[in-house]
Amino acid sequence: MHKYVLDRYRKRSSSLLLSDSRKIRQSQSQSEKYREKVKVASLERQKGLWKSARKILLLLRRASQGYHNSLEKVLMLAYGRVGAKKYSLLYALIRDVQEDKILNSNTDVEDLLRKVSIVRFGDEWEPPEVLTALLKSQNQVAFPQGAYMKRFKVNEVVKVPKLNSWQMPMPEVRRKNIRKRYFNRARFGALPPLDSAELNVLRGLISGAEPWKPPTRRATVSPPAALSPLETFLSDGPQNGLSFRKYVLGRPHRLTRRLMSSLWEQIYHLTPQRTTSAMGKPKFDFPNEKSGQPLTVSVKDEMSLGIFDSVDDDREVC
């Protein structure tokens, strides 16, 4: 009997030791896998940051060289028409409008409690009132043709179909996803108003009241000694003839006030001004005035006949 108890104790202790060692090995393998996963994720994040930094530096370099599209994108980012600054302005606008609402009666309190209890993107969910008013005013403006103008046309009403393609009631998950996609698209295309200080600076730049001077170019490094045609052929191979391939996506311009004024005016026309309607609801007005000299001049009928009196039959001025 004593021998049986000892054997049983030895077997049980050995099994416990084995199970403990197995648990230790399993936890070590799990921690090693987690470390490898974190290491791979950190490397991927570093690669993404490096790629985005190179992209931004290339954008700034091309903008400083005078490429129109790059310069336009830099100005759109600076004045909050696209990018992270736009979203911060939009969220601040929505938050300010919600906080400025005054509760005058029990109905207003009940309405506020009902909106708080609504499930996000549920059947009773509606986009913020200020966002709907902003999109409605944007749809009434004829934006000029450009690379960013299609994104600013967003329907102010959420359209959720009642039936799916099998003529069955639309599931709740799909209805939520449709509203969520609409809200993301509305945020992507909204044009929130600028701060008053930045808007005044923009107006001063357009009118000329705000001083501006073009950036000074840094002195270029002395170019290397020119190679002979034979050395160029051996190093670079046969060269093509005259080509405009490098100007396919645009060409550099000299940064003058005339060029910048056209871009500033374009940004100014994409900046609404917040007002309040007679019903106390938010309202947005986009500027439509244009600066500069008109391209045509109206003349009287009796004066129009003498416009070409000083031009002969050979279309030359006498």
Query: CA angle, corner 141, sides to 135 and 143, nearest 5?
Result: 105
Find out whether 172 and 125 touch, Cβ atoms under 8 Å. Answer: no
- Gap between the Cα atoms of 139 and 154, Å rounded: 7
**Phi, then psi, of 295 in degrees rounded to 5:** -85, -20
- On the 0-12 / 13-18 / 19+ scale of CB atoms within 10 A, 79 is buried
- On the 0-12 / 13-18 / 19+ scale of CB atoms within 10 A, 249 is exposed
- Give per-residue pLDDT as tens, 274-302: 888 877 788 898 888 766 555 566 766 66
The band of 191, judged by pLDDT with boundaries at 50, 70 and 90, is very high
* Residue 225 pLDDT exceeds 80: no
The band of 315, judged by pLDDT with boundaries at 50, 70 and 90, is low
Residue 39: per-residue pLDDT: 64
* Residue 78 pLDDT exceeds 90: yes
Find out whether 139 and 156 touch, Cβ atoms under 8 Å. Answer: yes
* Residue 224 pLDDT exceeds 80: no
Find out whether 170 and 161 touch, Cβ atoms under 8 Å. Answer: yes
State mean pLDDT over 4-25: 55
The band of 99, judged by pLDDT with boundaries at 50, 70 and 90, is low
Highest mean pLDDT among 11-15, 150-154, 180-184, 232-236: 180-184
The band of 75, judged by pLDDT with boundaries at 50, 70 and 90, is very high
The band of 188, judged by pLDDT with boundaries at 50, 70 and 90, is very high
* Residue 16 pLDDT exceeds 90: no
